[in-house]
Amino acid sequence: MNTDPRRHPHPHGPDELCAEGSALYTRALREGRVAQREADSTPCLIDFGLLHPDVEDMRWLRPTAPAIALPQLLRGIEDRIAQQRRREERLTAMFEPLMALDARQTLGAEHQDITVLDGFDRINEAITRATADAAHELRTVQPGGARSPEILADALPREQEFLSRGCRMRTLYQHTTRHSLPALAHYEQLDGDVEVRTLNEVTERMVVLDHTVAFIPASKDRTAALEIRQPAIVDYLITTFERLWRLATPMYPHAAQLPAENGVTTRQRAIAELLVEGLTDTEIAERLGMNVRTAREHIAKLAAILGSNSRAQLGYLIGQAGILNQNH
């Protein structure tokens, strides 16, 4: 059986010199040479050029000076790096046309189904283009209370052009918008088939044009949106809108009064539900699209109606009064 250790590769590279090899190389540097047989168990020293045969006596090995050995080892590493870089270049060149083909196919699929729109400008441009192409109806959900006068003014020409083509426009807001004078003035300026209804809570912002395309937020801050042209998803969003629409209270062109039972308004009833869920004043305000001060005023009125002296008692009295069992 062959037991020559140099028949087997040593299990480390030149940057991980084994303890035995390091000790032998150090002694060779100190003494000037070591016997050939002493390197039998450390073939790495010869493989890496740290020891070389003594030309005057082949029974001995002499050390290569570290200042010479190190550049030689570094050149070997650099050669391997250069070889890997050439391999990377060949692979890149081979895959570049394939990646371009895949990108075109991906872009085509994205354009047909779902596209990510990044930034308000790109979102508004996409909605404007889709509105110009629509031929029947615009369905919109606007959470968070009334839109600002600036946003309403910017939307007015686009919406009027849409209505002038004989299209229909329906919008869902939260109840807080019912008292917004800018919102009411905005709809009074529009000429065409326009309807607005309100609910205590609605879905996130949504725009659906015909049965063709929908826009929904893709981030919490609404700086990114999804343009959806997948028919099944668009139809699902339309179904969601229609169900909310049937539950909503008319605001324009003919406003219906929000019902009140036993002195408790619809809005106070919505607050009561959220109080029982354990939400804070801030969370209630965010859910219902109002500021915190308004939410606290309604909570105080509700407490006065039910004769509550504390928040804990208010939750109990809400349950006892059967407010949550009344129809919305």
**pLDDT band at residue 179, thresholds of 50, 70 and 90?**
confident
CATH number of this structure's domain 260-321, picked from the four choices 3.20.19.10, 3.40.50.300, 2.30.30.230, 1.10.10.10: 1.10.10.10
CB of 156 closer than 8 Å to CB of 183 = no
pLDDT given for residue 244 in this prediction: 93
pLDDT tens figures, 223-244:
999 999 999 999 999 999 999 9
pLDDT given for residue 113 in this prediction: 86
Residue 89: other Cβ atoms inside 10 A: 10
> Residue ranges per domain, the chain?
21-64, 69-109, 114-252, 260-321
Yes or no: is domain 114-252 CATH 3.90.226.10? no
Q: Above 90 in pLDDT, residue 263?
A: no
Q: Above 70 in pLDDT, residue 326?
A: no
CB of 223 closer than 8 Å to CB of 311 = no
Q: Above 70 in pLDDT, residue 16?
A: no
pLDDT given for residue 15 in this prediction: 57
pLDDT given for residue 328 in this prediction: 43
pLDDT tens figures, 125-178:
999 999 999 999 999 999 877 778 888 888 899 999 999 999 999 999 988 888
What are the distances in angstroms from CA 103 to CA 16, 97, 109, 165, 168? Answer: 43, 10, 10, 38, 38
Same fold, 114-252 and 260-321: no
Question: What's the chain's Rg over C-alpha atoms?
Answer: 38
CB of 237 closer than 8 Å to CB of 141 = no
Residues 6+ apart with CB under 8 A from 248: 172, 197, 198, 199
Q: Is 305 helix (H, G, I), strand (E, B) or coil?
A: helix
